[in-house]
Amino acid sequence: MNRNVLLLALAQAIMMSVNSLMVTSAALIGSQLATNKALATLPLALQFVAVMTTTIPASMLMGAVGRKRGFLLATVIGIAGGTCGVIGIYRESFLLFCIGCVGTGMYTGFGNYFRFAATEISTAGRKNTAIGYVLAGGVLAAVIGPNLANLSKDIFAITYLGTLLSVVALYALNGVNFLCMKLPPPARRDFRPRTRTLSQIASQPRFIVAVASAAIGYGVMVLLMTASPLEMTHQQHAFSEVAFVIQWHVLGMFVPSFFTGHLINRYGAPKIIMTGATMMISCILLNFNGNSVGHFWAALVALGIGWNFMFIGGTSLLTETYRPQESARAQALNEFVVFSSAACASFGAGALLHLFGWQLVNFAVVPLIVLVLLAHGWLWLNNRKITLASR
């Protein structure tokens, strides 16, 4: 278990290095290539749309052929997407760059199941920590991604060409990593009648709150994270400062993963999720308070920690709501909802910022965070009602 969890953490680190590199650069590349600057975040938004639309077929495919073959297929798709992005930048084609971002998004649609693969090779008492350790691989991404974006930006005469070549190289490296993994084969097909339909699984209060927590946490994080590099550029901050802030944001996202699983085991997922929501509120308050590099740094660190608690907490809560034979369908629905939220947030970031400004972008997410807190209050009341009825 330890070796394969370690390799899954490394796979997460490489995938998130690409994602943080793209977050740092994609909106700026889009702004450089697009005629209409309001479309600057469209490539990144398309990446999230591709994640969203890939999640269900990826889960079903891996349920049939196994995790390892699915991850190797993702490698082929990712390399093709990165190559398309390289050609798009070389030919100054906004369309080709957008298509390349779709390929990187499809790769991530498969890669987001790394954490579920870790739970499948872990004992019951280690599932939460396995999720945390895999996501902790993102700590390397905080160092690699933004720094690689900064170093590769001007390595060739054509700006950002080296950035997309780095994407291709990282995906190829992860392909070698997948070949070294020993993951269990797909579960033998269960021909017995299913005891629960997907609607029955999804109608559980615990399932609803788990999905809502992860989806809103991810959506809020993507909206503010995507808009921040553009706002920093508008405030005349240098690209190296943007890369520095994104690097610390990614650290905030993944460093807590070393202990988030232990905190969930001790205090329970709902309390950790609500703590994450509180951290996101502190991020918004910091964004209202100023626009210096220090303000962006502190806000995005708080945003990263808030995402970590809400996402890992939501994943942990989700794993309590389905049986092994129901996992592919339940996980697919969760991932689809979560990354639909992320895609909508990414689409809205550029337009909201361009049309209404930074303050409104921050105002827009407050009701969503309040909704998470209310959902957990509803879950607590529902659990209390069940407890009282059983006495």
Sequence-distant (≥ 6) Cβ neighbours of residue 285 within 8 angstroms: none
Question: Taking 80 as the threshold, does the pLDDT of residue 266 lie above it?
Answer: yes
Taking the C-alpha atoms of residue 34 and residue 95, their distance in angstroms, rounded to an integer, is 9
Please, are residues 201 and 329 in contact by the beta-carbon 8 Å criterion?
A: yes
Mean pLDDT of 82-102: 94
Question: Taking 50 as the threshold, does the pLDDT of residue 180 lie above it?
Answer: yes
Query: What are the Cα distances from residue 37, in Å, to 81, 116, 231?
Result: 23, 38, 13
Give the model's confidence band at 191: pLDDT under 50 very low, under 70 low, under 90 confident, else very high.
very low
Maximal C-alpha separation, the chain: 73
pLDDT confidence of residue 217: 95
Give the model's confidence band at 359: pLDDT under 50 very low, under 70 low, under 90 confident, else very high.
confident
| Positive or negative: CA dihedral 61, 68, 137, 155 | negative
> pLDDT: is 385 or 216 the higher one?
216
Please, are residues 279 and 305 in contact by the beta-carbon 8 Å criterion?
A: yes
Question: Taking 70 as the threshold, does the pLDDT of residue 59 lie above it?
Answer: yes
> Which two three-digit tokens encode residue 327?
């996992």
Mean pLDDT of 80-87: 95
Taking the C-alpha atoms of residue 352 and residue 337, their distance in angstroms, rounded to an integer, is 22
Side-chain-side CA neighbours of residue 124 (13 Å): 3
Extract long-range pairs of 96-101: CB within 8 Å, 24+ residues apart.
Answer: 97/29, 97/30, 97/33, 97/43, 98/42, 98/43, 98/46, 100/43, 100/164, 101/22, 101/26, 101/43, 101/44, 101/46, 101/47, 101/50
Give the model's confidence band at 381: pLDDT under 50 very low, under 70 low, under 90 confident, else very high.
confident
pLDDT digit string (tens) for 13-29?
999 899 888 877 888 89
Alpha helix positions (H), the chain: 2-33, 42-65, 67-90, 94-111, 114-120, 127-136, 138-152, 161-180, 198-202, 205-234, 239-254, 257-267, 269-289, 293-318, 327-356, 358-390
Give the model's confidence band at 215: pLDDT under 50 very low, under 70 low, under 90 confident, else very high.
very high
Taking the C-alpha atoms of residue 277 and residue 371, their distance in angstroms, rounded to an integer, is 10
Taking the C-alpha atoms of residue 15 and residue 167, their distance in angstroms, rounded to an integer, is 9
Please, are residues 47 and 101 in contact by the beta-carbon 8 Å criterion?
A: yes
Question: Taking 70 as the threshold, does the pLDDT of residue 188 lie above it?
Answer: no
Question: Taking 50 as the threshold, does the pLDDT of residue 85 lie above it?
Answer: yes
Report the predicted TM-score, pTM, of the whole model to 2 decimal places: 0.77
Q: Regarding the domain with residue range 2-182+199-390, which homologous superfamily does it belong to in the CATH classification?
A: MFS general substrate transporter like domains (1.20.1250.20)
Taking the C-alpha atoms of residue 171 and residue 78, their distance in angstroms, rounded to an integer, is 6
Q: Over the chain, what is the mean pLDDT?
A: 88
State the virtual CA torsion across 137, 140, 145, 148 in degrees, nearest 10: -150
Radius of gyration of the chain (CA): 20
pLDDT confidence of residue 187: 62
Residue ranges of domains in the chain: 2-182+199-390
Mean pLDDT of 303-321: 93
42-56 burial code (b ≥16 CB/10 A, e <16): bbbbbbbbbbbbbbb
Please, are residues 178 and 196 in contact by the beta-carbon 8 Å criterion?
A: no
Mean pLDDT of 105-121: 91
3-state secondary structure of 3: helix
DSSP character for 185?
Answer: P
